[in-house]
């Protein structure tokens, strides 16, 4: 997608191109090459396919250092442990996989930078579940070195917040500052191809009005990929998770804002439906007649006696927005989230300060 929706920015709108602090130049770009979507070369599954490729010849001669364990059962921590303290052969497999994947990731970044929407990008933040590991850190560092050696002038940086929390923290930046004044917390949802998270963002606006002091103070996670569920059941489960967060805020006596921010895979239409990109979610989330924000609002019409407002955007956009306080010295920057797929978004800062 080259351009998101382009409504006015003073009120929250699903999938908006203009937000209080940034313009979203693009998100969910689907760059193709001869083998399909270029982003598929920088997903979690692509990395594990490389690990398997390096194990296969050793397995045939009975010298696989990982023994009989299938690649599907290995974790990033297993690889990190082998790299640090394991046998040389196992460390060699890990190093080879990191190098090959980094080369692919660098090529993916080059292709993104060639698109019109990504021209002039100064920094790329790497997020997603893959980032939350030593292996992910090594990939980001090696990719950055590869690009620098090729005179590609872009900084590769790791997302500052824990990826699981970044997908929740970013929702506050979907809203204009005046909507958050006088409130301690707001509700956030991060929907992914494997998990759904719901949590409470403590805004801490008195400490920092740019939200750099915001933090997650309570959250719940549900792995829908492990459950035999459908869309209706998933929405019902999410509603229960949000209701539990509301009760927690009441117990803690927080002034909870009557807004719910949602990050969700895919291209988000202005009416809250998903155009495409929701294929990894349980059931058909891409139906033109399905509007998750409307379903949430129907189930939770009020919060603290005020009408509930729900605003939804792409999950990579939301995760990227968590980096806004750190990106104030940049003009054009982007995010790539390595997960079930490769999420992407490019931003231009509007340099609009939050009200004091």
In a domain, 166, yes or no: yes
pLDDT for the residue 10: 60
In a domain, 329, yes or no: no
In a domain, 259, yes or no: yes
Domains of the chain: total = 1
Question: What does DSSP say about strands 332-338 and 123-127: parallel, antiparallel, or unpaired?
Answer: parallel
| Residues constituting the chain | 356
Three-state DSSP state, 186: strand
Domain span at residue 198 reads 162-322
pLDDT for the residue 133: 85
pLDDT for the residue 305: 94
pLDDT for the residue 216: 97
Contact assessment for residue 259 and residue 309, using Cβ atoms and an 8 Å cutoff: yes
For the domain that residue 226 is a member of, what is the CATH number? 3.30.420.40
- Paired tokens of 74: 């290995």
In a domain, 280, yes or no: yes
Closest CA to 156 of 90, 102, 215: 102
Q: At what angle do helices 134-149 and 88-114 cross, to 10 degrees?
A: 50
Q: Rounded distance, CA 241 to CA 245, Å? A: 6
* pLDDT tens, the chain, 356 aa long: 555 655 444 678 999 999 999 999 999 988 877 677 788 889 899 999 999 999 999 999 999 999 889 999 999 999 999 999 988 999 999 999 999 999 999 999 999 999 999 999 999 999 987 777 899 999 999 999 999 999 999 999 999 998 889 999 999 999 998 899 999 999 999 998 889 999 999 998 888 888 889 999 999 999 998 888 899 999 999 999 999 999 999 999 999 999 999 999 999 999 999 998 888 788 889 988 999 999 999 999 999 999 999 999 999 999 999 999 999 999 999 999 998 788 999 999 997 554 44
In a domain, 249, yes or no: yes
In a domain, 315, yes or no: yes
Q: What is the pTM of this model?
A: 0.90
């Amino acid at each position: 997608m080259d351009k998101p929706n382009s409504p006015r920015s003073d009120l929250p709108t699903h999938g908006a191109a203009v937000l209080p602090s940034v313009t979203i130049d693009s998100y969910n770009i689907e760059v193709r090459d001869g083998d399909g979507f270029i982003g598929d070369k920088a997903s979690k599954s692509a990395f594990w396919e490389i690990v398997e490729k390096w194990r296969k010849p050793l397995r045939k001669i009975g010298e696989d250092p990982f023994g009989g364990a299938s690649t599907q059962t290995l974790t990033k921590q297993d690889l990190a442990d082998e790299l640090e303290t394991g046998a040389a052969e196992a460390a060699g497999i890990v190093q080879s996989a990191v190098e090959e994947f980094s080369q692919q990731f660098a090529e993916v970044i080059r292709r993104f930078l060639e698109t019109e929407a990504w021209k002039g990008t100064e920094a790329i933040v790497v997020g997603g579940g893959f980032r939350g590991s030593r292996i992910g850190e090594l990939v980001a560092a090696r990719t950055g070195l590869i690009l620098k050696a090729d005179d590609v002038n872009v900084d590769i940086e790791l997302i500052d917040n824990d990826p699981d929390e970044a997908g929740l923290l970013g929702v506050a930046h979907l809203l204009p500052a005046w909507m958050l004044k006088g409130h301690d917390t707001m509700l956030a949802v991060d929907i992914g191809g494997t998990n759904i998270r719901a949590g409470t963002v403590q805004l801490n606006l008195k400490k920092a009005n740019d939200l750099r002091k915001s933090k997650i103070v309570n959250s719940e996670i549900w792995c829908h990929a492990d459950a035999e569920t459908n869309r209706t059941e998933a929405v019902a489960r999410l509603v229960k998770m949000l209701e539990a967060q509301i009760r927690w805020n009441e117990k803690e006596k927080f002034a909870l804002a009557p807004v719910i921010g949602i990050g969700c895979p895919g291209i988000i239409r202005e009416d809250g439906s998903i155009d495409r990109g929701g294929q990894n979610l349980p059931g058909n989330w891409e139906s033109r007649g399905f509007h998750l924000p409307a379903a949430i609002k129907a189930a939770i019409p009020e919060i603290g006696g005020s009408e509930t407002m729900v605003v939804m955007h792409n999950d990579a956009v939301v995760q990227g927005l968590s980096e806004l306080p750190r990106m104030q010295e940049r003009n054009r920057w982007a995010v790539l989230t390595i997960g079930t797929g490769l999420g992407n978004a490019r931003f231009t800062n509007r340099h609009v300060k939050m009200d004091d």
